[in-house]
Amino acid sequence: MTIHSGGQNICGVSIGVLSLESYFPKPPGHIKNPSSLPFTTTYEILHGLTVQKLLADPSPELLQPIISAAKRLEDQGVHAITGSCGFLAIFQKEIAEAVSIPVFVSSLIQVPLAYHMTKAPVGVITASASSLTDKHLEGVGASGVPIVVQGLDEAPEFSSVILRGERTQMDLGKVTGELLAAAESMVERSPEIGAIVLECTDLPPYAHQLQAKVNRPVFDIITLASMVHATSHRMAFPGFI
């Protein structure tokens, strides 16, 4: 007989997501669309913390509510914690120190991995190149890794909906085209790029089209969360001897 300690209201949740408040569409492949994810999720909404606020003013005052939300996720019994915006990287160390379960709030944690795998500069596609700072890279241990940054600051559909929050309606086809154009421009500018990391959690839904366009490995928050889920929930292998 196996006896479990209990104490959880809901069981079987793998990944807890620290979620910025946003209301634009989240297509399949988005960390905030659990219908398409290969692991179970639960969410703590960071009320009042929007993309615009996090990018414009990632001040220490934001940290305590985020840490409180991370602790609530831990209390719920999740096995690891991620985030719904890669710019949470600036708080990665503090959040990880505040709880006793794995924390990976930004896909940028994969930048050193991508570099060591390819020994070539890593292309980082970010929502906003002007907002991505050395502090974000330091937060995830990516300082000193050669990178080429491509932002979507000037992409009309993406920037108006996601960066400026002008409306919640979004043309997914236009966003796809803007991402592919940005990636193609980046690779043409720096053909030595060996792999691509998508900082922005809004981009994984289009990662397969991106890879088909530029023929590079593509890392994002879903590839990272899937790996963390697999390491946290090792299963017996199928097959036979």
As averages over each run of 10 residues, the pLDDT of the chain (241 residues) reads 80 95 97 96 97 94 97 96 98 98 98 98 98 97 97 97 97 98 98 98 98 98 97 93 91
User: Which pLDDT does position 134 carry in this prediction?
Assistant: 96
pLDDT (tens digit, 9 = 90+) per residue, 30-77? 999 999 999 999 999 999 999 999 999 999 999 999 999 999 999 999
Strands 122-126 vs 147-151: parallel, antiparallel or unpaired: parallel
CA–CA separation, 56 and 131 (whole Å): 7
Q: Encoding tokens for residue 149?
A: 């940054």
User: Which pLDDT does position 151 carry in this prediction?
Assistant: 98
Average pLDDT, the chain: 96
With 0.85 as the threshold, say if the pTM is over it: yes
Strand partners, 29: none
Long-range contacts of 161-165 (CB under 8 A, 24+ apart): 161/24, 162/22, 162/24, 162/51, 162/127, 162/200, 162/202, 163/51, 163/52, 163/55, 163/127, 163/128, 164/52, 165/22, 165/50, 165/51, 165/52
Phi, psi values for residue 29, rounded to 5°:
105, -10
